[in-house]
Amino acid sequence: MEALRTLITGHLPPAGEVVRTEIHPQASAPSFAGYGSLRVDSGTAALALALLSARQRRPELSAPEVIVPGYCCPDLVAAAVYAGVNVVVADIGENDAGYNLEALEACLNERTLAVIAVNFLGIQEQLEELRRRLKPGTFLIEDNAQWFPDASETDELQGDFVIFSFGRGKPVSLLGGGLLLFKTDHSAALPTPDAPSTETRIIGNLKRNLYNWLLRPQLYQWLNRNPLIKLGQTIYQPLTHVQQMAPHQAQLLPTNIDAYRAKPRISEHAYDEFISNHNQLRTLQSPRRRRLLRYPLLLKAQEARDELLARLSRAGLGATPMYQRPLWHIPGVEELVQTPYPCPNANRFADCLLTLPVHSGVTETHRQRIRIVIDTAASQGFLDAGASRH
Ligand X SMILES: Cc1ncc(COP(=O)(O)O)c(C=O)c1O
Q: Which residues are at the interface with ligand X (CB under 6 A)?
A: 42-44, 72-73, 75-76, 118, 143, 145-146, 165, 167, 178
Nearer to ligand X, 69 or 370 (CB): 69
Q: How far is the CB of 118 from ligand X (least distance, A)?
A: 5
Helix, strand or coil for residue 57? helix
Tell the smallest beta-carbon distance from residue 75 to ligand X (Å): 4
Minimum gap (Å) between residue 345 Cβ and ligand X:
18
| In the complex, least distance from residue 201 CB atom to ligand X, rounded to whole angstroms | 20
Residue nearest to ligand X (CB): 43
Closer of 46 and 270 to ligand X (Cβ): 46
Minimal distance, residue 48 CB to ligand X, in Å: 9
Q: Which is nearer to ligand X, 15 or 356 (CB)?
A: 15
- Which residue, 50 or 377, has its beta carbon nearer to ligand X? 50
Q: Which is nearer to ligand X, 157 or 301 (CB)?
A: 157
We find the least distance from the C-beta atom of residue 122 to ligand X, in angstroms, to be 11
In this complex, which beta carbon is closest to ligand X, that of residue 44 or of residue 280?
Answer: 44
- Quick one: 143 or 303, whose CB is closer to ligand X? 143
Nearer of residues 164 and 382 to ligand X, judged by Cβ: 164
Minimum gap (Å) between residue 199 Cβ and ligand X: 16
Q: How far is the CB of 298 from ligand X (least distance, A)?
A: 18
Q: What angle (nearest 5°) sits at the alpha carbon of residue 257, between those of residues 54 and 266? A: 115
